[in-house]
Amino acid sequence: MQRIRLRYTKRGRLRFTSHRDFQRAFERALRRAEVPMAYSAGFTPHPKVSYANAAPTGTGSEAEYLEIALTAPRDPEQLRVLLDESMPSGLDIIEAVEARTSGLADRLTASVWEVRLDGVPPQEARRAADAFIAAETVEVQRLAKNGVRTFDARSAVAGLEVHDLAEAHSSRADRPTDQPCAILRLVVRHVTPAVRPDDVLSGLRAVADLAPPVPAGVTRLAQGLFDEETGTVTDPLAPDREAVEANPTAAPTAAATAPA
């Protein structure tokens, strides 16, 4: 059984696609591309697809990951092209690699987020960011299934920088504007309870009264293993890519089990 790991995006209006909507679109793409999928056992078999840490509905992403199990081997790049052609524009399959290691989900320990604050001068955002970083704890509230939950948003934030629009590559051509615009670049650890970019915005409002006049535009730029020494997020597919380059003809390792 071959396993393929894919990186895909949520761009433009497709950022409002829910995870369930993406699942339906992806399973249709699997059928259109005639992918030899492995299926689960039982009365209602379903394709063996493992999704890892999907971004919240309404946020864009350049770094979503999933893994599929196949009953017959396929070239990862050819498979990527076929699937990408079968997906809606904006839900783009941009990378595929054969799984040669286990524990993809274990390598997703942090995310890099870009938050666009239209109408907020960069100097005002820097003042708020400095106050947030200086605080030992920043308590915020979120409405959960069991009521309002209070938690610390500060401890999960490993990095917070402020740029103006001209410095932010991914936002530069997206929504041009003559108004002030600050760009936040966040590195957020994946903790429990999860701290999301909107929680950080709530924290900035709490410590510095920062209140953007319009909803923020949020995009995940990367996710992977957090390097404590450098403060960076590493590529989670790098170990598989390196294993393939070292031994292109090797079969998947027995220790790497198929997704449930």
Looking at the predicted structure, is the pLDDT value of residue 10 above 70? yes
pLDDT tens, residue by residue, 136-177? 999 999 988 888 999 999 999 999 999 987 665 554 445 556
Domain ranges in the chain?
2-103+236-246, 110-224
- The pair of structure tokens assigned to 58 is 């309404």
Looking at the predicted structure, is the pLDDT value of residue 241 above 50? yes
Tell me how far the alpha carbon of residue 195 is from its chain's centroid: 13
Quick one: the chain helix, strand, coil %, rounded to 5? 25, 30, 40
Q: With pLDDT > 70 as the criterion, what percentage of the chain qualifies? A: 91
Which residue's entry shows tokens 């829910």? Answer: 18
Q: What is the assigned CATH class of domain 2-103+236-246?
A: alpha beta
Q: What is the mean pLDDT of the chain?
A: 91
Q: Averaged over 176-195, what is the pLDDT?
A: 90
Cα gap 158→161, rounded to integer Å: 10
pLDDT for position 114: 97
> Which residues are CB-contacts of 1 (< 8 A; sequence separation ≥ 6)?
38, 69, 70, 71, 252, 258
Cα gap 163→221, rounded to integer Å: 15
pLDDT for position 218: 97
Residue 257's CB: how many other CB atoms inside 10 A? 13
pLDDT for position 248: 81
Cα distances (Å, whole numbers) of residue 181 to 79, 113, 129, 161, 220: 40, 16, 15, 14, 18
- Is the CB of residue 181 less than 8 Å from the CB of residue 118? yes
Looking at the predicted structure, is the pLDDT value of residue 179 above 90? no
Cα gap 56→54, rounded to integer Å: 7
pLDDT tens, residue by residue, 42-97? 888 899 999 999 999 999 999 999 999 999 999 999 999 999 999 999 999 999 99
Per-residue b or e along 35-47, where b marks 16 or more CB atoms closer than 10 Å to that residue's CB: bebbeeeeeeeeb
pLDDT for position 91: 97
pLDDT tens, residue by residue, 13-50? 999 999 999 999 999 999 999 999 999 988 888 999 99
Note whether 2-103+236-246 and 110-224 share their fold.
Answer: yes
pLDDT for position 173: 43
CATH architecture of 110-224: 2-Layer Sandwich (3.30)
